[in-house]
A and B are shown apart, each in its own frame.
Chain A
Amino acid sequence: MYTQGLDQCGASAESKSRAETPADLERFQSRIDAEEKVEPKDWMPEAYRKTLVRQISQHAHSEIIGMQPEGNWLTRAPTLKRKAILLAKVQDEAGHGLYLYSAGETLGTSREQMVEGLLSGKAKYSSIFNYPTLTWADVGAIGWLVDGAAIMNQIPICRCSYGPYARAMVRICKEESFHQRQGFEIMLELSRGSKEQKDMAQDALNRWWWPSVMMFGPGDSESKHSAQSMAWKIKRFSNDELRQKFIDVTAPQAGFLGLRIPDDKLEYDAASGHYRFGEIDWQEFHDVLAGNGPCNRQRLRHRQRAHDEGAWVRAAASAYAEKHEHHSRGSRSWAVAGYRHG
């Protein structure tokens, strides 16, 4: 939808864009290879820009939608301390969504457009958030597994080639550190509790393990975007590499908790130093991604409803601002000088 032609509609009449030449692409690639950061108004291939908009906005949507499954237990958190911690975590997720939308807006899209993409169902978000949180243990499982997986994905992106995205990720990763710990702590407390609590924890692990493993996406031979994203240093490790690392790190943690990972084929292989694991049901992944998971409709409807119910509020704030703004755009002195700042 957005092409280089967008810039032709800007203020300056002399702005021209021309087709990307191999020389342009080569020059861009050597900047990337030299680990230079690309910043908002730098020249970039259209495909690079598009990929980033897609990835950044999906990432932002995931944070926002992710607030729902966890927010589901805010009013029922079993202690005041847990309530406060969960509130802080969900608040962070809102903040992360905001940093990411902010990074996306540097690339020729707006918050409004990105949100429209989400609500219309065109834009994707992480499949993991389409699963329901049925017990308090689910809150623990999400923190431990989902945030654990997210951290693995996110740390490499702190070094991605696009400046605003990398910087947003640095901020996010700093804040993320307590998220996983709080989840693990919840699971730990449950695993040391009553039989009912242990069962609750095991049940949550049974339901959240495979969806978490699927979070890393399909094997790289299947993923269409991978190769180019790697070359442009948007993606720094393959899906399979990250998934393996996640399983290697998490399996011993489950052992520590005295919980059983629901995979009969899971086994440590001393020779490779890695865990072997069972086959992933990619059909489920694709179903959920296509909109047929347990909570897809519910999540989007919830988001849509909040958006709709907020329309009169946003309109009121804009109306008030318009009535009371001391300098309106039309009267700016530099508008007289011929600049357009629309």
Chain B
Amino acid sequence: MADQNWPLYEVFIRSRSGLSHRHAGSVHAADDQMALDHARDAYTRRNEGISIWVVRSSEIVASDPAESAAFFDPATDKIYRHPTFYDIPEGVENL
């Protein structure tokens, strides 16, 4: 893509001291600092947070879904079905 879409970051917010960070959603950003700023703007506009963690979505390591009837990829990464988390080789069409 000509303009190189910004990667996806997951956002975790600690709303008050004493509480853990909780997953709030995601933002796109070109770099880590921008991700932090975007997370602040998107998820703490109403003073919902005192601490923010952002992590590139593709770097999260996740457990298998609890379902024993999981027919899909048992790999322990890729928390979402996000298409850009998958490397498609050059030349493969229609993906």
Contact = CB atoms under 8 A, between A and B. Distances in A.
Interface of A: 2, 4, 6-12, 14-18, 24, 27, 39-43, 49, 91, 95, 98-99, 102-103, 105-113, 168, 171, 175, 311-312, 314-315, 317-321, 324-325, 339-342
Contacts of A110: 5, 8, 82-84
Nearest to B41: A95
Nearest to A14: B74
Contacts of B5: 110-112, 314, 318
B72 A7 contact: yes
Contacts of B65: 39, 41-43
Given A11-B73, A325-B31, A43 B67 contact: yes
A94 to B, nearest CB: 9
Interface string B59-94: 100100101011111110111111111111000000
B58 interface: yes
B60 to A, nearest CB: 10
Given A15-B75, A168-B25, A342-B87, A107 B81 contact: yes
A325 to B, nearest CB: 7
Contact of A102 (B25, B84, B87): B25
A314 B81 contact: no
Interface residues of B, number: 42
Nearest to A313: B3
B46 A320 contact: no
Interface of B: 1-6, 8, 25-28, 30-31, 34, 42, 45-46, 58-59, 62, 65, 67, 69-75, 77-88, 95
B86 to A, nearest CB: 5
List 7 tightest A-B contacts by C-beta distance, closest first. Answer: A342-B87, A317-B30, A108-B81, A15-B73, A318-B4, A321-B31, A12-B75
Contacts, number: 143
6 contacts: A42-B70, A43-B69, A107-B81, A318-B6, A319-B4, A342-B85
Given A43-B72, A342-B86, A95 B42 contact: yes
B30 A320 contact: yes
A9 B95 contact: yes
A41 B62 contact: yes
Q: Which of A8, A98, A168 has the most CB of B within 10 A?
A: A98
A317 B75 contact: no
Given A9-B95, A12-B74, A168-B25, 20 more contacts: A6-B83, A10-B75, A12-B73, A40-B79, A40-B81, A41-B70, A99-B25, A109-B82, A110-B84, A312-B3, A314-B3, A314-B6, A314-B30, A315-B3, A317-B31, A318-B5, A340-B87, A341-B59, A342-B58, A342-B86
A15 B74 contact: yes
A105 B87 CA distance: 16
Contacts of A315: 2-4
B14 to A, nearest CB: 17
B81 A41 contact: yes
